Chain A
């Protein structure tokens, strides 16, 4: 049995899954000030009658680190950054103790200017004096040559709890994003570690010696042990949980749009042949653009509790929420009230909704029922418009080869999968307005927790070989090897997949069911003075986000 747990803003959902499907599901209110208690209480309830040894693992998706970032409740960390020529790295300052030092590496990983030991020593002193425990180190093009980051780390050894190095965080280019991502990892590290260690300890005291997995933003999980080194990967896993809970219901051969309609927001994502679409760069959170691998999701400020008003002849919905719906004692008309008035939603006080809706109906010049119908339809339309815009943006993504340009693959979903509180109430309307097939994900209220439980372990490897410089290098794996000039494309491919396999197994993947795929595969002949002097090979491979084997994810039929 697997326990899947998803901490949301209002509720925490937890499910107990057996191989045949959901055995039990529980919803508890989230206490944002004490997530630890929230999690324990959810786990207590779901496992009340279960023998501990029957639990295979617990997979958790929490808002812990996400909230810390959004609410600016991060501890002080030290950052050492070296830019070299280009945009001034001082412009990318992430925090108070942010020190720019000399040094420069070019795009092929050649050292242009060495680092100055005294500058590193001065930064070290500054951080120690300030009582800083965690440090991030980032140099430009460290994913092509990590030597300067490693040299800086050696100088910091012994003085801090943990030093995060940019090239280990992601193999992708983007110096500013690497700075932000390294900073976030260093900053959320103590929060993440403390929380999960406490959870583990408490479970151990109850006699539960089960592995804990943590859901990541890319819709895959990772072992708790591995997450300690990359804690920021766990931010923004909430939307990923819902998407993973839906994928079994997407078309096997085709595209689907997933819509998770919540109280404050609606989150959207795309499934292609039951595999979620990933963001090409990384997640964006609270104004931070990162290199954290994530599902391509789009969130709009329209949900069941969004504030509805009529201004200057226009009906407005969201993006803010003033509180619960009128029908639940709230202050402002909401789409939920429209559903209550129209008799679609059973819960809530219809009289309160009706009364609170009256001024809005007067302003719109309609009877209350007609106003409610209009609000309902308008809300659905806004959600669909946002979905269209998201798809248009995905299809505008530039490509860099003639082949891809002419192949011109476009995303065009045939199906919408809805989940979240009001899912069954809006499905019909969405279908009528959009002309797409709309289905409600079964167990729509806890599909997110099911998604967390059934997500497989994912990871990615980036390998860069430069046979003129005779190096092959996978930055995140701390893998560096000198290669012969005869090193070829197929050698690089084999090496990348081997690294990926080892990494996935180390992080908890099932070795018998690794779904690996190559997502980038480029080879360039390097020509200098009309002579071919080497090959520049770039491979990126991943374990695709998807569901684990041996458990039936289709917990019911699509409604």
Chain B
């Protein structure tokens, strides 16, 4: 009988009765052929591959990460509670040692969902990785976490949530934002003044092949992970870098995804995007599962695979080498860069416009972070949408120093509730979420 080298947990939740709308890429059919492949290959009969039933997350799990307007139930469907729950189920199984590694093959995805949620962006409503990670931090005391986002789109939601957190390393590898949604994720996006360098972006040129992806993993991601020494590595495993994906322009392969998985050695993988539902997903997922379990994936190959057509041009290779060098340099010099950033007046403030493409909402944010050498810093966000909703959101980070705790509470208590629908405090030191309203 076949045996997995690493005991691996799988949550499979294809949400066969849920879609954004009937012809949307995020629809019922998305994981149908993946399920067929997984069942036909007999993966779940392999000794050491365990299918786990997803739990549902609670509103408290969501509010540890997000400020939802007006509340979690209003911006989430049941399917979101289950997909975030599936990721969390895998996380718990890993933390409790019931499995060595785990993969949450769930939908809908989450990596475009930011800290403030007015609606859906990039097919995402809530950030399922962040909800899982904060649950694990709360339940098991995990501290240092690395997230490697290998979806073809920049993981701007996860970046936003961990922008000010020096204990969460977020690395996103994606197709260059000048050529693809959401148009962000450039190497100079390095995190807030209290957390410079723990956000890193590796934009790859269109038509990057297996060679280029694995180069970036080997020359940028792995050495940085080695330095950061995370207790937990999470892979946001989007599968839309595949050469057959209908909404992106990359040349990655099922075999390449398996290789990447083997090299990255993530403890937990969570499915993100990937919309080549017939030609890519069944094979990519098979490759990822076999690689996580430490099994042979050399026979995994998609029917339309033609190595000649997927060869990477020399200029693409050169561009990737330069970007990796740059990102590595930013990482190595993060201390000096931080000092430079913090010396600039106004570095504690950001003004942003955020567009929710899926729901067509425009949001304006005024953000302020308390500069702090001891913790991630108290965070205050004044957010208003064109639907007329306004919130003052205050976040006190998990390891906040007494000064930042006091500042956060002060912001919360002193806010003029008449100017907002809601004033909310997300206090991670007490794991509480409080609301004041007029």
Contact = CB atoms under 8 A, between A and B. Distances in A.
A403 B77 CA distance: 12
A176 B40 CA distance: 8
Interface stretch (B14-22, B65-73, B310-318): B14-22
Greatest chain B CB density within 10 A among A91, A397, A527 is at A527
Leading 9 A-B pairs by shortest Cβ distance: A176-B42, A107-B36, A173-B39, A401-B17, A173-B40, A85-B301, A112-B303, A524-B29, A398-B53
Contacts of B18: 401-402
A525 interface: yes
B302 interface: yes
Nearest to A529: B246
Interface string B1-35: 11000000001111111100011000111001101
Contacts of A530: 23
Contacts of A403: 17
Contact of A396 (B35, B42, B53, B78): B53
B417 to A, nearest CB: 36
Given A173-B39, A399-B53, 5 more contacts: A85-B302, A91-B2, A108-B33, A287-B1, A405-B13
Contacts of A401: 15-18
Contacts of B40: 86, 107, 140-141, 173-175
Given A175-B41, A531-B23, A86 B12 contact: no
Contact of B13 (A173, A397, A400): A400
A525 B22 contact: yes
A173 to B, nearest CB: 4
Interface string A82-97: 0101111001100000
Interface stretch (B158-166, B278-286, B328-336, B367-375): B278-286
A104 B303 contact: yes
A188 to B, nearest CB: 20
B2 A87 contact: yes
Contact of B53 (A397, A524, A526): A397
B32 A87 contact: no
Contact of A85 (B2, B33, B36, B303): B303
A522 interface: yes
B364 interface: no
Contacts, number: 117
Contacts of B54: 398, 405
A174 B45 contact: yes
A532 B300 CA distance: 29
B301 A405 contact: no
B103 to A, nearest CB: 14
Interface string A65-86: 0000000000000000001011
Interface in B276-302: 278, 282-283, 286, 290, 295-296, 298-302
A174 B278 contact: no
A87 B53 contact: no
Nearest to A527: B23
Given A287-B1, A398-B12, A525-B22, A177 B45 contact: yes
Interface in B392-432: none
Contacts of A87: 2, 41-42, 290, 295-296, 299
A402 B53 contact: no
A406 interface: yes
A225 interface: no
B42 A177 contact: yes
Interface in A88-144: 88, 91-92, 104, 106-108, 110, 112, 140-141
B82 interface: yes
Interface in A157-194: 173-177
Contacts of A289: 42, 45
A524 B18 CA distance: 11
Contacts of B282: 107
A42 B102 CA distance: 54
B300 to A, nearest CB: 6
A399 B82 CA distance: 11
B299 A400 contact: no
A457 interface: no
B319 interface: no
B365 interface: no
A203 B347 CA distance: 96
B77 to A, nearest CB: 8
A396 B52 CA distance: 7
Nearest to A398: B53
A174 B29 contact: no
B287 to A, nearest CB: 10
Given A87-B2, A91-B2, A405-B78, A106 B303 contact: yes
A266 interface: no
Nearest to A88: B299
A549 B243 CA distance: 60
A536 interface: yes
B28 A525 contact: yes
Interface in A517-541: 522, 524-527, 529-532, 536
A536 to B, nearest CB: 7
A530 B36 CA distance: 23
B48 to A, nearest CB: 14
B138 interface: no
A535 to B, nearest CB: 10
B385 interface: no
Given A104-B303, A398-B51, A405-B54, A524 B41 contact: no
Contact of B42 (A141, A174, A402, A531): A174
14 contacts: A85-B303, A86-B40, A91-B2, A104-B303, A401-B16, A402-B77, A402-B82, A405-B54, A405-B56, A525-B23, A527-B23, A529-B246, A531-B23, A536-B29
B152 to A, nearest CB: 18
Contacts of A107: 33, 36-37, 40, 278, 282
Contacts of A400: 12-16, 35
A186 to B, nearest CB: 19
Contacts of A532: 22-23
Nearest to A141: B40
Contact of B15 (A281, A396, A402): A402
A482 to B, nearest CB: 21
A85 B40 CA distance: 12
Contacts of A140: 40
Contacts of B23: 525, 527, 530-532
Contacts of A287: 1
Nearest to A523: B28
Interface string A374-418: 000000000000000000000011111111011000000000000
A396 to B, nearest CB: 5
A522 B39 contact: no
B78 A86 contact: no
A455 B366 CA distance: 72
A107 B16 CA distance: 17
Contacts of A398: 11-13, 51-54
A527 B25 CA distance: 8
A402 B79 contact: yes
Nearest to B80: A402
B29 A402 contact: no
Nearest to A86: B41
Contact of A402 (B17, B35, B302): B17
Nearest to A179: B42
A113 B103 CA distance: 31
B32 A536 contact: yes
